[in-house]
Chain A
């Protein structure tokens, strides 16, 4: 865990900023897993309509079963990365697969780091 935290801190040294844009600019994905996840997302977006239509045929009690079986085979023939189930909501900054809060798309460690430095808008340490 400490190693992961350190690794992202080390990797923080990124490209030179163009003068117009303030803040950090990332030109690479954090690691290959993140890149694969990105590819899956893109493909899922492409095939979303088709999958929806074929599934509408499959999940049906009106159409004949033979048609539905054909539809089953068709959808299985689509590329594997096109299904949305394979997408993993990773942390955007560290590519951590677990402990990611959906609202901020950040892993818990990064979230805590930024919140403690008062860089998360509207986030405060809880005390009651």
Chain B
């Protein structure tokens, strides 16, 4: 990182527009690939890089400030140039040269500006050394930047009660924890920039549909073969009975009299069949006959409603065909 830092310092020392240029270059590089973008985003999330940027910004602002100060007042810093000669040995000679070049470019008090720039560089080196070792300053800075969100006492109470209720709920019903988590988080889950890490797996349901809709005959045969091969002969009477039940030889106990006979219709549909008699004449022998038919059908427990209705419809059709004959009579 030291080389990178030195490069950055060169840029910043050479011209006051160093940092924006560097940032622009970095941005351009990042825009090439999404991976680079991602790395940039992750990198920007790191504290060190941001601290570095801030330091550079600080330096630029301090440079400007000190230049302004120099222009206004002269006698404030006189003792600084004495101490710089010792410390310049630690710094990069390139940096020193760059600092001297900057100082020479400025209008007044070249020595003082040079000394101040070098002092800043020294400070920067110190901080980077500290960063490499431990980095306690970073945490302090970060924490100082973080603002404590004031919670109202109502929210406090709600959150505590939510937590307690979570602990009490042993069944772990899905709605409760979900709601509390969304309530508790100050930042919601759906807010924020998209990272574009995962691609949408939209092709999966199509694949699933494909496989389900075409079980070929060969697949069925293979499945049958596998089942036949893996089927072991029954070890005892229980397994034999199980096998027979599966095959249908043995009935299931307790015996259900209505196995295979699935009648979804209610009893009133079986008994009250008058509504099907609308197509018939209201008087006469035919009506009499049909009422007898309906009486018999309503007492029949073996037919389904559909079959009974079919009977009645057949009679209706039959009598429709024989209408001419009937009218002769």
Contacts and interface: CB of A to CB of B under 8 A. Distances in A.
B35 to A, nearest CB: 58
A72 B310 CA distance: 22
Measured as residues with beta carbon below 8 angstroms from the partner, the interface class of chain B is 10 to 19
Interface stretch (B61-69, B169-177, B213-221, B311-319): B311-319
B293 A56 contact: yes
B329 A64 contact: yes
Contacts of B286: 63
Contacts of A70: 322, 325
A63 B285 contact: yes
B318 A53 contact: yes
B288 A62 contact: yes
A62 B284 CA distance: 10
B228 interface: yes
A67 B329 CA distance: 9
B302 interface: no
B295 to A, nearest CB: 12
A60 interface: yes
Interface residues of A, number: 14
A53 B308 CA distance: 12
Contact of B289 (A19, A49, A60, A66): A60
Nearest to A54: B318
Nearest to B247: A21
A53 B289 contact: no
For the residues of A in contact with B, the DSSP-based class is helix
A20 B221 CA distance: 13
Nearest to B292: A62
Interface string A44-65: 0000011001001100101110
B228 A66 contact: no
A63 B326 CA distance: 10
Contacts of B288: 62
Nearest to B314: A53
Contacts of B328: 66
Contacts of B325: 66-67, 70
Contacts of B315: 53
A109 B318 CA distance: 49
Given A20-B228, A53-B318, A66 B329 contact: yes
Given A20-B228, A53-B311, A53-B318, A62 B329 contact: no
A19 B293 CA distance: 52
A62 B285 contact: yes
A64 B285 contact: yes
A57 B286 CA distance: 10
B228 A19 contact: yes
A67 B325 CA distance: 8
A67 B322 CA distance: 8
Interface in A63-80: 63-64, 66-67, 70
Query: 5 tightest CB-CB pairs across the interface, nearest first?
Result: A62-B285, A62-B289, A62-B288, A20-B228, A64-B329
Interface of A: 19-20, 49-50, 53, 56-57, 60, 62-64, 66-67, 70
28 contacts: A19-B228, A20-B228, A49-B310, A49-B311, A49-B314, A50-B314, A53-B311, A53-B314, A53-B315, A53-B318, A57-B289, A57-B318, A60-B289, A62-B285, A62-B288, A62-B289, A62-B292, A63-B285, A63-B286, A64-B285, A64-B326, A66-B325, A66-B328, A66-B329, A67-B322, A67-B325, A67-B326, A70-B322
